Amino acid sequence: MPDNERSDLQKARDLVRDVVLAQSNIFIKELLRKKDFKGAATKDQFEAQLEEAVDSGKLTYAELTEWIEEMEGWGNEHVYLYKVPDALVESLADPVKVKARLVKGGLGDLWQADRSLEFPEVRKLTGIYHTDGELTFVWHEGADYRKRAPEKDFDEDAADGEHYYYQAYRRMAQRDVTRVIVRRALLAVFLPGDNQPATHTDRRVDLCGEIKALAPFTDWELYSMGEAIKALDTASMRPSLSETLRAPNTRWDAKGGGYVDFGSETDGSYAAVDELREVRAAVRRSKFKGGHAQFRLRLPPLGEKQAKEKERVAKVHLFSDYDRIRLTARLTRNDVWWILKKIPKKRRK
C-alpha cells in the first residue's frame, strides 16, 4: 500500500476515534447506513463498524472529513441573522471578486483551504470557502468547559479550626466551530458555547474585525427576532401548520411594560389548550412585542429509512433581547439551514 494511502487510512482511523464518535448517535447511524452497515446501537458497536468501514475502504478519509463538516458544530449554538446591504449582495456572491479582495486583505492563503482538523487554544480563522454562491468563514477553537466531578469532592478539617467542603470540576475538552456564512442577502453568525448573550456582542465584534474587508457585518441591520416571534407564534395557531410548527412557550411583551407568558407543560402548542387559546385570542398583536419563545419544528427526515422511524423535532428558542436564536440540540448543517429558512426575516418596527 502506498505511503499516502496508508497515511489516509491511519488519519481516517484517528478521525473516527477522536471526532466521529463524539457526534450524535443518530447521525453516525445514518452515515453507517449509507455504507450498508446496520444494527449498531452503542458507541462501542458504532466504533467497531466504523473501523471496519474504514479498513475495508468503504469509508474514505475524504468522505469522513466532508461528513464532519456537515455535522460538527451544527446545532447547540447561538445564531444571529443580519441583512446584507443590497449593494454588497452581488459582489459577495461572486467568488472572483471575493478572492481578489481576500488576497488584497492578506487572507489569500485561507481561500478554499483544506479542512483543518486543528483546534488551537485561541480561536483561529482556518478557512474561507465559496461554494454555490455561499461564502463561509470558519474559525476553530479548542475550548474547554467545567464538568462537575463529585467523585473527586472531599472535605477536611483545616488548621484554622473550620471544616471545609471542596467541590471538584473536571476540565472537558471541546472542539468549537464558529462560522459566519453569507447566503445572498442573509449573513448568519454561528456562535458555539457561552450562554451569556452580552459576551456575544464582543465576540461578534472580534469576528467582524477579522473579516471586515469583506463583510463588516456589525454595522449591518440585525433581523428582529421579536417580529419573528410574533409571526411564528401566529402561524403556529393555524390548523394546517399545527403538526410541523408548535409553540410550547411564548412571552408577549406589552408595549406599555410588563408581559404575558403563555406556556404549555407538554411539547405541544399552548394554543392547543382551549383555555389558553381563549386568552391568547385576547392578545392584540399591535399592542404587544414578541419577547421570547420556544418553537418546535418538525425536521425533514435524514434519509429514506429515517422517514419511517421516530420524527425528528428541533427546539428553537428566539429572543428579542439581542435578537438571538438559540438552538439546543445537535443538528446537521442541512437541519440548521432548514430551520433558519423557516424563521421570518423581518425588520424591527
Partner 1 sequence: MTPDWQTLEAGFPPAAVEHLRGRYETPGSFSVTVRDLAQDSGASEHDAEALLEALVVGGNLTKQTYKRCAKCGVDLSDDASDGQCHNCNAAFVDENPISVVRYQLDREAPRDVPWVLVLHGMNTRGTWQEELTWLIARSYKQMVPVAIYKYGMVRPGVLFGWRQRMIVRRVIKKFVALSKQARDDGFHGPPDVIAHSFGTWLIAHALDDQRVRVGRLILLGSIVRPDFRWDRLLADHKVDMVLNHGATRDFWVKVSQYGIPKSGPGGRVGYPAPVRNVAAVGLGHSDYFDPEQRMRQLFADVWQPFLRWQSVPPLHGAFEAPRWRPAPLLIRVTTRLLLVGVYASIVGGFAVTLFYGLLCLVR
**By the rule CB under 8 A, 239 interacts with partner 1:** yes
Question: CA–CA separation, 54 vs 32, rounded Å?
Answer: 11
**By the rule CB under 8 A, 235 interacts with partner 1:** no
Question: Residues 80, 303, 41, CA angle at the centre, nearest 5°?
Answer: 100
Q: Which is nearer to partner 1, 1 or 282 (CB)?
A: 282
- Is residue 215 helix, strand or coil? coil
Query: Where does this chain touch partner 1 (CB under 8 A) — which range of 48-56, 64-72, 213-221, 235-243?
Result: 235-243
- Residue 77: CB minimum distance to partner 1, A: 10
Nearest by Cα to 231 from 213, 214, 252: 252
Terminal-residue alpha carbon distance, the chain: 64
**By the rule CB under 8 A, 166 interacts with partner 1:** no
Question: CA–CA separation, 58 vs 72, rounded Å?
Answer: 21
Say if residues 327 and 79 touch (Cβ distance below 8 Å).
Answer: yes
**By the rule CB under 8 A, 35 interacts with partner 1:** no
- Count, residues near partner 1 per rule CB under 8 A: 41
- Is residue 107 helix, strand or coil? coil
Q: Residue 158, Cα to own-chain centre: how many angstroms?
A: 46
**By the rule CB under 8 A, 265 interacts with partner 1:** yes
Query: Where does this chain touch partner 1 (CB under 8 A) — which range of 13-21, 29-37, 101-109, 242-250?
Result: 242-250
Decide the pairing of beta strands 163-166 and 124-131: unpaired
Q: Which is nearer to partner 1, 9 or 237 (CB)?
A: 237
- Residue 339: CB minimum distance to partner 1, A: 14
C-alpha grid cell for residue 302? 435524514
Q: Which of 328, 341, 347, 348 binds partner 1 (CB under 8 A)?
A: 328
**By the rule CB under 8 A, 291 interacts with partner 1:** no
The residue ranges that bind partner 1 (CB under 8 A) are: 24, 75-76, 145-148, 150, 167, 172, 195, 237, 239, 242, 248-249, 264-269, 271-274, 277-279, 281-282, 284-286, 294, 313, 315, 326, 328-330
